[in-house]
Structure 1
Amino acid sequence: MNNFEMCPRFEKAVDVLSKRWVALIVFVLMDGPRRFGEIEHCLSNLSGKVLSDRLKEMENEGIIQRTVYPEMPVRIEYSLTDKGTALAPILGEIGTWSTDWIEIGVTK
């Protein structure tokens, strides 16, 4: 019997990207920096707490950058890092696959 061993880097990548909302947050940020409220508005079913948690996790992974502007009131924007931007072709391929294979409103 063959012993199959998952590549640790691939396993971690799938773990990071499979967390609920992560890919959609990346997708929203592909158009450029956004404030917390703008991201929350784009993903209307996402709670503020979960968004906050995901943004912190993604920042810790180096996928997004949080920029604080010392204005009154303080302005905070989230943007993709080079690491996050590198996910664009992957999400594009998922979009192509979903167009070809996923039917909305049809149960199989």
Structure 2
Amino acid sequence: MVTKKAAKKTVSRANGKEPQVCSRFHHAVELIGRRWTGAIISAMLVRPLCFNEFLAAVPGLSDRLLTERLRELEAEGLVRRTVIAGPPVRVSYELTESGADLEPAIHALGKWAERWVKV
């Protein structure tokens, strides 16, 4: 049970006015919880992937949404985009150090889902 005193420790003031509860945690959950993001990160835990390899690894993922999610993850510093000289020119995506640090959380969430989520 969380006491009021303990709960107050997790609350900070944004702009000195409104309370903000666990803003970093909330941001992380919102980022990873976006549609397909967990599957995209999970696929990169094995090795760097090129665009079409993602589409093969994650059935149902559209080109448009994959592009959007990869850009978001790159902007957040979780994914590194590397252009590989050709021909043909290819682009590879790999997890950065901070992205790779998500591995224990991704695996733990997967184990939890296997045990508790009914599909």
Does the TM-score normalized on the shorter chain lie above 0.5?
yes
Pick the TM interval, shorter chain: 0.7 to 0.9
- Residue 35 (structure 1) aligned with residue 53 (structure 2): no
Give the number of the structure whose residues are more often strand, by fraction. 2
Q: Which residue matches 2:62?
A: 47
Superposed counterparts of 1:1-108, under 5 Å: 5-104=20-119
Structure 1 residues without counterparts, runs of 5 or longer: none
Give the residue type in structure 2 aligned to 1:10.
F
How many Å apart are 1:102 and its aligned residue?
A: 2.0
User: Residue 30 of structure 1 aligns to a residue in which SS?
Assistant: helix
User: Residue 67 of structure 1 aligns to a residue in which SS?
Assistant: strand
TM-score, normalising length: structure 2: 0.80
In the alignment, the residues of structure 2 paired with residue 99 and residue 39 of structure 1 have an alpha-carbon distance, to the nearest angstrom, of: 22
How many Å apart are 1:103 and its aligned residue?
A: 2.9
- Calculate percent identity across the aligned residue pairs: 34
Q: Which residue matches 2:17?
A: none
Q: Which has the higher contact order (CA 8 A, sep 6+)?
A: 1
In the alignment, the residues of structure 1 paired with residue 110 and residue 72 of structure 2 have an alpha-carbon distance, to the nearest angstrom, of: 24
Q: Quote the RMSD (CA, aligned, Å).
A: 1.4
How many Å apart are 1:81 and its aligned residue?
A: 0.6
In the alignment, the residues of structure 2 paired with residue 72 and residue 11 of structure 1 have an alpha-carbon distance, to the nearest angstrom, of: 43
Give the residue type in structure 1 aligned to 2:115.
D
In the alignment, the residues of structure 2 paired with residue 100 and residue 11 of structure 1 have an alpha-carbon distance, to the nearest angstrom, of: 24
TM-score, normalising length: structure 1: 0.88
* Number of matched pairs: 103
How many Å apart are 1:98 and its aligned residue?
A: 1.4
In the alignment, the residues of structure 2 paired with residue 45 and residue 23 of structure 1 have an alpha-carbon distance, to the nearest angstrom, of: 14
